[in-house]
Amino acid sequence: MMKRIIQLTLVLLQTLSLSAQEKAYPNHPVCQTEVHDSGYYMKHAEAFLAKTLAGRQSDTRGINFSAPYVVRVFIRIVRQNDGSLPGCTAATAIQNFDEMNGQYNGHNICFQLVGLDYINDTYLNNFNSDALLDDGTYENYIRNNDYDVDGAMTIFIHYNYLNNNGSSGNAYGIPNHFLSVARWAVTSSNVHSIFGHEMGHCLGLYHTFARYNDLQETVTRNTGNSCYNCTTGGDLCCDTQADYRTSTNQSEDYVNNCVYSRNYANACDGLQYNPSTINIMSYMPWECISFTSTAITPNQRTRTHATINDITGPVYFRVAEDVVLLTTINANTDKVRVYGARTTVSGLANNTVTHTGASKAYFAAGTAVIFTPGTTFAPGSGGLANAAISGCN
């Protein structure tokens, strides 16, 4: 079970205030993350992972981390410039985070919550999907303002999702190290998979109905069948049940008690589609998505592990080492800095750790955070020092 964060600073939590009527949102995920390959492992995840693990002696940090992988996560709740209209409360964000862990823990992935804070930015809080897809407006805005936290996967929770056609979130790319989710999906009592869905994209997963190379996946899993294409089309996972693009429009009409009942065959050989109603990367009704590790298949797990182990990818340096030894640090700017380890964060002898002014320092470890002589915390009004016992057991 995820251990709760122990705060060293007082955080004032502002309760959610609803000032406008909610629009009607669909009873299934709507995600704007599109397929665009960005690495060899995306097409051949199993081979890439096997080669990487067999050939690696140690990584550039001198640490050869291994499964179970502890992936550092930082949650940023967005508010207006005046601090009003937060995307959700801290308690609600942590609830969603814990639910995500339940879906991934059985696949040797643990998400470590290294920190949670608030961003006062009206532009970012009124997320406008019209500006999202064409020119990377929000992706660039997040990067240019250093809102994506170095050393952690960053989750943004926005109060408004404007012109979104019911969208619940976006991961900006496959893979990626930050994602955005809508308030309505985070606070709804019926939605328990939005963090896990967008994080799946960040870890290299496509939608189950994706058309890789614009090739719709056929149903057969018989390699001798001329229609077999699950290794070259669809979501590139042969153990996810074949899904099709228009299932996203049919799921609510053809799913009863989480059993898919539409009579629809693929054109190649006439076999009937029977897509999974519990897979986290599908667009099936919210209430059907599994709360447990059954939300993800073994092939999907392999893809996430391949993404994690890709030293050239966006996730690799956001995975926690067993032990983090603090070298000399002198920080006074308002950039967030995280120090997260699977077991222990500790200072090195004869090294000085200093955080002053607007510096924001977050320390998280599964067992202990140890500050040795030579550590100084003197944050100003815009700074803080936060320590957490946060990990998996």
Same domain, 139 and 177: yes
pLDDT of residue 27: 74
Domain boundary, last residue among 262, 279, 309: 309
Same domain, 123 and 158: yes
Domain count along the chain: 2
Query: Over the chain (393 residues), what is each successive 10-residue block's mean pLDDT?
Result: 37 30 59 64 85 67 73 98 98 97 96 97 86 69 95 96 78 93 92 94 94 88 96 92 83 86 91 95 93 96 94 92 88 89 87 86 94 85 89 71
Q: What's the CA angle centered on 211, arms 209 and 212, to 5 degrees? A: 130
Domain boundary, last residue among 248, 282, 309: 309
Name the pTM for this structure.
0.90
Q: Is 144 strand, coil or helix?
A: helix
Domain boundary, last residue among 309, 337, 370: 309
Asked whether residue 129 is assigned to any structural domain, the reply reads yes
Q: Is 364 strand, coil or helix?
A: strand
pLDDT of residue 150: 95
Between strands 169-170 and 178-182, the pairing is antiparallel
Q: What's the CA angle centered on 236, arms 279 and 289, to 5 degrees? A: 5
Beta strands in 94-152 (DSSP E): 109-120, 126-128
Same domain, 79 and 139: yes
Asked whether residue 235 is assigned to any structural domain, the reply reads no
Q: How far is CA 194 from CA 112, 145, 323, in A?
A: 17, 25, 31
pLDDT of residue 393: 57
- DSSP track, 151-209: TSEEEEEESEEET-TT--EE-SSSS-SEEEEEHHHHH-TT---HHHHHHHHHTTPPPTT
Asked whether residue 269 is assigned to any structural domain, the reply reads no
Same domain, 201 and 325: no
Same domain, 297 and 384: no
CA dist 194 and 188 (Å) reads 10
pLDDT of residue 299: 96
pLDDT of residue 14: 30
Asked whether residue 18 is assigned to any structural domain, the reply reads no
Same domain, 66 and 118: yes
Same domain, 298 and 373: no
Asked whether residue 267 is assigned to any structural domain, the reply reads no
Q: What is the CATH number of the domain that holds 129?
A: 3.40.390
Percent of residues in the chain assigned helix, strand, coil, to nearest 5? 25, 25, 55
Same domain, 44 and 192: yes
CA dist 141 and 125 (Å) reads 12
Same domain, 364 and 303: no
Closest of 76, 58, 74 to residue 66, by C-alpha: 58
In contact, 195 and 100? CB cutoff 8 Å: yes
pLDDT of residue 215: 85
Give the tokens for residue 356: 């002053």
Asked whether residue 230 is assigned to any structural domain, the reply reads no
Is residue 341 within a helix (H) or strand (E), and if so which, with residue range?
Answer: strand 336-347
CA dist 264 and 178 (Å) reads 36
Structural domain containing residue 172:
40-206+292-309
Asked whether residue 363 is assigned to any structural domain, the reply reads yes
pLDDT of residue 368: 95
Instruction: Evaluate the CA torsion angle 194, 200, 202, 207 in order and state its sign.
Output: negative
Same domain, 163 and 300: yes
Asked whether residue 301 is assigned to any structural domain, the reply reads yes
Same domain, 103 and 191: yes
DSSP state of 14: P
Same domain, 305 and 328: no
